[in-house]
Structure 1
Amino acid sequence: MKQYILKYLNDNLTDEEYNELSLWLKNPENKKKFKKFIQANYNLSLAFNKIDDSEALKKVKSTIEKHNKKGTRKLYYKYAIAAILVGVLLTTTLFFNVTTNTNTPIEQPAHKITNTVTPGEAKAILTLENGSDIILNEKSKYESQNSKNNSDGIVYNNNPENNSLEFNYLTIPRGGQYALQLSDGTKVWLNSETKLKYPITFIEGQPRDVELIYGEAYFEVSPSSKHQGSLFSVKTKLQEIQVLGTAFNIKAYQDENQIQTTLVHGKVALNTEKEHKQLSPNQQSVLNKETGDLIVKKVDVYSEISWKDGLFSFKSKSLKEIMTVLSRWYNIEFNFEDIDSEKLMFNGVLKKNQSLEEILEVINKTNLINAYEINDNIIIIK
């Protein structure tokens, strides 16, 4: 249910998901899990803003009122879940006030800001077979014999009579993200600074191969049972992943020395020059680019894939790791004046549609950083 809770906090649940979450919360033990999860993962983006009882209630009511015109059934579940969330927020506020109680107010250092850094948006560059580039974004309109874009991304048509492979490339720049649906029905979400190579249409009965040239992508693969048993594979520079039908995330950025593959559900087989391993749900493989060593560990899956649902879920991440993620989404660069501060750890769930200043303020109020300076596209952490 972690995925549903985070999607609820991001106001991104469907009617069916509201129903499931509400029924799950009828169990007293599940209510405790809900409260514990909110306090552990979400309080940093709320409590450090020193909310009070009325502000907590206003926040929840505001979220509910957004859906007042969408039907009473969904509204009922909104109230049921929100009632629990209000209690969590008030508890979190009390905890914050107690742990920071002091006779003298804490003065935060001034921050030098010369410009506002806005969050990323849906945008991509589509490179066709003939080498021409098409700019795609939320406002652009593109349609060809085999594909067209919409508000959700670009969708390719299936052509069972196709007997030859022609390839397109989809490149996501820094400060962007985009989604596509391949001709077999496989859905792919592409994160900032990512490039994917794929066939315009697959050949029926033959392996369905795509290549993640670099970056991060989340795949929901159409089952092989719908395609005459043909396997789906994703190739990166140092590994190949074969699947029958599953959901998984691959993170293979050029400036990072690891390739991380996280399995949500189903089963995948990983092949490298040195090793062959299978992943089970909630497992992540980490491939060292330099040594070729491959390890498998258990992870909190939704923290790894929350980016596609509009969230940053930072769980025991260093400031350096966090700033690397933020630099891609906001298309900026970070400099640390104090190198030791790069290693400081942060926990929190933040929305990707916030301005960079809002994100930095949340981190700043944890006292992990002393001050920061925004100058054009350079952020200096002091």
Structure 2
Amino acid sequence: MDRRALLRATVLGAGVVALPFTGWSAAYGAAQAAPGPYGPLRAADANGIRMPRGFSSRVVARTGRRVPGTAYRWHQAPDGGATFAEGDGWCYVSNSEVLAAEGGGASKISFDRDGRVVSARRILSGTDSNCAGGRTPWHTWLSCEEIDRGRVFEAYPAGGAAKARPAMGRFKHEAAAADPVRKVVYLTEDEPDGRFYRFVPDVWGNLAAGRLEVMCAGPGTSGAFTWAPVPDPGGAPVRTRHQVAAAKAFSGGEGCYYANDTVYFTTKGDGRIWQLDLTAGRYRLAYDDSLVKPGPPPLTGVDNLTGAESGDLYVAEDNGSMDVCLVTPDGHVSPFLRITGQRRSEVTGLAFNPAGDRLYFSSQRGRTGLTTGGITYCVKGPFRRP
């Protein structure tokens, strides 16, 4: 197996990509604006997407309409997403951030080796406000409810009934990221005083039982951190975030991504990306929109994020200018694409296909600003390689 094939296998098997952000700016303690590696954004295409030269977009699905080539109607408010290898192609899984009565849960679209739609179907139903989530190394999708005392559900894109995983905590869940080295799953909480958690399963690969822990650290933006058990993961009557006095508060936890002994997560309330060095047991700011000098910052409303084989990090905006921004390993931040004419929406569900040449994402509310206006896209092009 050559190096590129090995990297792709790593992405497929464990969701791990080398993201060596060791060169990020020391002057302000966070990444800074700089020209992007692909050049400037060109005029919007027929789908209203601005991208660099060499990239192209297509609409994959629209809320309430049949996914092209299938009889399945795409769900409302598409949110967090991931891809999985499937046959000689792959599938894209997407959450629906609406109540169960409106069709909340998750769906998937299957593609052949050339990226053509093969089928589409529901993989999770009867759940509320499924926002983000995360894939596991054993090829399941963790779909997270963003409601008070929400649950994590483990869905099976390859087939099988989804299962609730209450041991992972009952709180306002956002995203999840599996760490196959430490055999834990990291979890964000979308509250103004949310916490950052990890779930330690009794048996790796089985999330039915285990221990929920919360990150503990001082009030600063860098330093050492530890983990402490959450006494009552059920969160009643005392919510999980208020059970451990030393737990560090974060302003609106959003996206979460693990790679190369490091976990990254975003906090939308203060426009930050946080970086935890899991080997050293230390954390720091990787990006802060208020520290970009000179302004204005290229990335605001930080939300969902994912990584590429190149070591680049891709971060979606909630509102703002509806950008997906790129953060390079040397700490340069720039817009990679922009969805035009949809300022009342947000960008969600960032996920690369297994080959790394297609990026899937959604505009959750599209042009209408309503949950019924969602659009799911795919951008193809010469993404950087290691």
- Determine which structure has the larger strand proportion and give its number: 2
Could you say which structure has the greater relative contact order, defined with CA pairs below 8 angstroms and 6 or more residues apart?
Answer: 2
- Determine which structure has the larger helix proportion and give its number: 1
Does TM-score exceed 0.5, indicating one fold?
no
TM-score, length-scaled by structure 2: 0.32
Which has the higher Rg, Structure 1 or Structure 2?
1
